[in-house]
A = this chain, B = another copy of it.
Amino acid sequence: MQEELNRLKARLRRVYDLNAISRLLHWDQATYMPPGGAPARGRQLALIRQMAHREFTDPEIGRLLDALQPYAEELPPDHDDAALIRVTRYEYERATKVPEELVTTISAHLATAYQVWTRARPDNDFKLVQPYLERTLELSREVAMCFPGYDHIADPLIDAADRGMTVATLRPLFAQLREHLLPLVNAITAQEAPDDACLHAHYPAAEQLAFGEEVIRRFGYDFTRGRQDQTHHPFMTKFSVDDVRITTRVKEDDLSEALFSTLHEAGHALYEQGVNREYEGTPLARGASGGVHESQSRLWENVVGRSRPFWEFFYPRLQARFPQQLGTVPLETFYRAINKVERSLIRTDADEVTYNLHVMVRFELELELLEGTLEVRDLPEAWRARYEEYVGITPPDDRDGVLQDVHWYGGLIGGAFQSYTLGNIMSAQIFEAATRAHPEISDEIRQGTFSTLHAWLREQLYRHGAKFTPAEVLERATGQPLSVEPYVRYLRRKFGELYRLGSALTADG
């Protein structure tokens, strides 16, 4: 069996490396590539992705998996080899069920749809992109139908990002969360909004970047195995377990922009830098799911990075870097500014309390599109109505409405948005488990130390990579299945204190 296993690993390593190379092509495109490089880069990305897909769907991988199945079945399920064979089979079956022709058609279509969207959005012209979105919907359904046996047509798309999740589990979960969020939003927005003017002085870019890097170095992000660059949209990417890079975006008139995106992407990167080095070159060498990944970006960005103990340590340091801008601004003012809750239009700018309502609008609309109960042409109107209902605000145009996110224009419809809210929910559940195990974590954060938290996360979560399913990894780490309770508790406590809300709202839910 050892020989088959080695042959499988050698093939998987090629696929892994080709995927890593395609990510480098994309990283360079987003960071340093001169504009002239775009046409050739598109060609080169398509070539490498096609090669990676072909290498992974080669029938020889199926044969090796079949040959290894008896071996896997004899092992305890949490043996690394068993997990490797199990996870590879899952991925292999997903990859081989979608015909290569459909994969190629989708790639070409989405490249065009994305280009059209980049023109449609600034022009506020949904009509321009509507036929492309209709085709994307068709193609998304076709992909879903490659996985017969689902209860809801969105399930296979959701499963690709958040394995084990279905519409049947997510709808009630999100409804339950919404029940808690709506009264909280209402109570908060009934008050006068905090003044966040202090975030909008002039903050020179280099000093902003230096501060963000000081913070994430303390988190434990290893700059000998990563780096940060600037891009239009921040992201995390990985070329190997020892080369995990992040990017950020700086606005000199908005201190929160670069800082919180740096913390967010560093959360993703800490996860990837923490994966067991033995898994390098295999499908185990990455986070467990979209949701679990997002739980780590949100944990470091919000649960840690927007907390009071965190700023008790870092605010004097931030003031020292920006004495003119912040020297006379009290900690409390700053803390309230970075936690300002408001009914707003843009998901990526939304605060912790309203954020999930933005996600729910999208999640429900894409389910309705896939079900056929909503037509693409009616989407802008449905978007406005749902925003009014959930967020309590109506977008004045499609630019900041249905055209705001790239997801449906550069990717399939379905399976993209649920991870954000799952991540938020899990972030609190995981942090609660960490502080239950190590009550000193809060005090450490107050001293700018994150080693206990980081070590616990590495041990419980990061090192396992994709070895376990999201449900397994969450239950192993927290001792409990997925639950909105810790998240609701977290929000009520934090924002109850911040906004001095009555006990009816802040009693543990």
* Residues of A that sit less than 8 Å from B by CB: 13-14, 17-18, 20-21, 24-25, 28, 32-37, 39-41, 43-44, 47-48, 51, 222-227, 229, 239-243, 245, 280
Closest beta carbon of chain B to A49's beta carbon, Å: 12
Inter-chain contact A37/B240, CB cutoff 8 Å: yes
Q: Given that A20-B44, A47-B14, A47-B17 are contacting pairs, would A34 and B243 also be in contact in the complex, using a CB cutoff of 8 Å?
A: yes
Number of copies: 2
- Partner among B36, B223, B242, B280 whose Cβ is within 8 Å of the Cβ of A242: B36
Q: Given that A24-B28, A32-B229, A47-B18 are contacting pairs, would A41 and B224 also be in contact in the complex, using a CB cutoff of 8 Å?
A: no
Whose C-beta in chain B lies nearest to the C-beta of A50?
Answer: B14
Inter-chain contact A34/B225, CB cutoff 8 Å: yes
8 contacts between A and B (CB under 8 A): A21-B44, A24-B24, A34-B242, A35-B225, A36-B222, A37-B239, A40-B241, A40-B243
Q: Given that A13-B43, A17-B47, A239-B41 are contacting pairs, would A225 and B25 also be in contact in the complex, using a CB cutoff of 8 Å?
A: no
Inter-chain contact A17/B34, CB cutoff 8 Å: no
- Chain B contacts of A37 at CB under 8 A? 225, 239-240, 242-243
- Chain B contacts of A43 at CB under 8 A? 13, 17
Whose C-beta in chain B lies nearest to the C-beta of A51?
Answer: B51
Whole-angstrom CA separation of A232 from B119 in the bound complex: 41
- Secondary structure of the A contact surface, majority rule: helix
Whole-angstrom CA separation of A240 from B224 in the bound complex: 30
Whole-angstrom CA separation of A48 from B17 in the bound complex: 9
- Chain B contacts of A239 at CB under 8 A? 37, 40-41, 44
Whole-angstrom CA separation of A24 from B40 in the bound complex: 12
Whole-angstrom CA separation of A223 from B34 in the bound complex: 7
- Chain B contacts of A245 at CB under 8 A? 34
Whole-angstrom CA separation of A47 from B11 in the bound complex: 12
Q: Given that A28-B28, A47-B14, A51-B51 are contacting pairs, would A20 and B34 also be in contact in the complex, using a CB cutoff of 8 Å?
A: no
Beyond A32-B227, A44-B239, 17 extra complex contacts between A and B, CB < 8 Å: A17-B43, A21-B44, A24-B24, A32-B32, A33-B243, A34-B223, A34-B226, A34-B243, A34-B245, A36-B240, A36-B242, A36-B243, A37-B239, A37-B242, A40-B240, A40-B243, A41-B243
- Partner among B34, B243, B280 whose Cβ is within 8 Å of the Cβ of A227: B34
Whole-angstrom CA separation of A36 from B273 in the bound complex: 11
- Chain B contacts of A41 at CB under 8 A? 239-240, 243
- Chain B contacts of A25 at CB under 8 A? 21, 24
Closest beta carbon of chain B to A104's beta carbon, Å: 15
Whose C-beta in chain B lies nearest to the C-beta of A226?
Answer: B34
- Chain B contacts of A243 at CB under 8 A? 33-34, 36-37, 40-41
Closest beta carbon of chain B to A230's beta carbon, Å: 12
Whose C-beta in chain B lies nearest to the C-beta of A24?
Answer: B28
Whole-angstrom CA separation of A222 from B99 in the bound complex: 42
Inter-chain contact A40/B17, CB cutoff 8 Å: yes
Inter-chain contact B242/A39, CB cutoff 8 Å: yes
Inter-chain contact B36/A224, CB cutoff 8 Å: yes
Q: Given that A14-B47, A47-B14, A51-B51 are contacting pairs, would A20 and B40 also be in contact in the complex, using a CB cutoff of 8 Å?
A: yes
Q: Given that A20-B44, A44-B17, A47-B18 are contacting pairs, would A36 and B225 also be in contact in the complex, using a CB cutoff of 8 Å?
A: yes
